[in-house]
Amino acid sequence: MLRFFVRKLLLAVSTLFAVSVLTFGLFFAVPNNPAELMCGNGKVCSPERLEMIERRMGLDVPVPQQYGSFMKGIFAGRTIGEGDAARECLRPCLGFSFRNDEPVSRIVGRTLPVTLSLVAGAAVVWLLIGVSVGMISALRRGTVFDRLAVGFSLVGASMPILLFGPLLLIVFVYETGWLSYPRYVPITENPLAWASAMILPWLALGFLNSASYARLSRAQMLETLTEDFVRTARAKGLPKATVYGRHALRAAITPIVTIAGLDLGTYLGGTVITETIFGFTGLGKASLNAAINLDMPVVMATVLLAAVFIVAANVVVDALYAVIDPRVRLG
């Protein structure tokens, strides 16, 4: 048990380390000096001004040292630059944007809630629809409902959000005018406006994902229903509802929890396509914009954050799994 977790934690740490090194390496793989980029595209930059920018951003020390101070900045904050150019960057320090000198942590603070709202609502949609459709069609195997559900999951799994998202917009916004084009409002400001802006993206992301969840939970439930302990429970004379609701559902739900955890981790890192289609500036969109502008501090921060989400989801899922399913602990 202990060994299992030590192994998982080691893997998590090594993954985060690999991601940070890789992105940091990318940062310097850009042939144009970042200082040159800051100076402005196409313009000729005087050597004095270049040097000033370099010092200001702390780019005049060796790369490994820069990596070290970057990491230190995240955990303890740091001072960027020196002398008159020095700027205090508080923990968690992710640096300053090349484009407008805005602290990266503030950009993240502004965009993360958007992605968070989007994913949380969508997850509710896909778990509700997906799991219930899957379970019901497993229990009514062979009925019309089951066939429709199987068809839905097959088609839904192939439906690209590139089609489904615009389709929702066309139907609900442009053709019928039932909803206006979404505009993000923080939940703290006006929960109702927040929800009404989020409803289309929730539907888009949630509905598409529910297809694979329906398929997974149907397969899981079917498998569980043939297992001996379920048959034993039925043979003992327990009521159907008890057997399915308490025994079978619990056994079938474990893999679904796992997948859901991993999906959540992945989506929290950015749902860039959904954000783009519905015009939100979430974490993914911010990352994309930064990448196109070669605004590397922002890119690095968003990539690292996404990796942290995925790795954390992995660790949590492993821990949950070990708690739910005692067999894992032996592995």
Binding site for other proteins (CB under 8 A): 11-12, 14-15, 18-19, 22-23, 26, 29-32, 41-42, 150, 154-155, 157-160, 162-164, 166-167, 169-170, 174-175, 219, 222, 266, 269-270, 272-273, 276-277, 284, 287-288, 290-292, 294, 299-300, 302-303, 306-307, 309-311, 314
Between 194 and 207, name the residue whose CB sits nearer to other proteins. Answer: 207
> Smallest gap, in angstroms, from Cβ of residue 83 to other proteins?
31
Cα(295)–Cα(173) distance, integer angstroms: 34
Separation of CA 9 from chain center: 20
Cα(9)–Cα(228) distance, integer angstroms: 35
> Smallest gap, in angstroms, from Cβ of residue 72 to other proteins?
22
Between 52 and 312, name the residue whose CB sits nearer to other proteins. Answer: 312
Between 22 and 187, name the residue whose CB sits nearer to other proteins. Answer: 22
Contact 309, 269 (CB under 8 A): yes
Contact 209, 164 (CB under 8 A): no
> Smallest gap, in angstroms, from Cβ of residue 190 to other proteins?
26
Q: Which parts of 189-295 fold into alpha helices (H)?
A: 191-225, 228-235, 240-242, 249-268, 272-278, 283-292
> Smallest gap, in angstroms, from Cβ of residue 188 to other proteins?
27
φ, ψ of residue 26 in degrees (nearest 5): -60, -40
How many CB atoms are located within 10 Å of the residue 2 CB? 7
Between 42 and 47, name the residue whose CB sits nearer to other proteins. Answer: 42
Separation of CA 23 from chain center: 18
Between 209 and 287, name the residue whose CB sits nearer to other proteins. Answer: 287
> Smallest gap, in angstroms, from Cβ of residue 95 to other proteins?
14
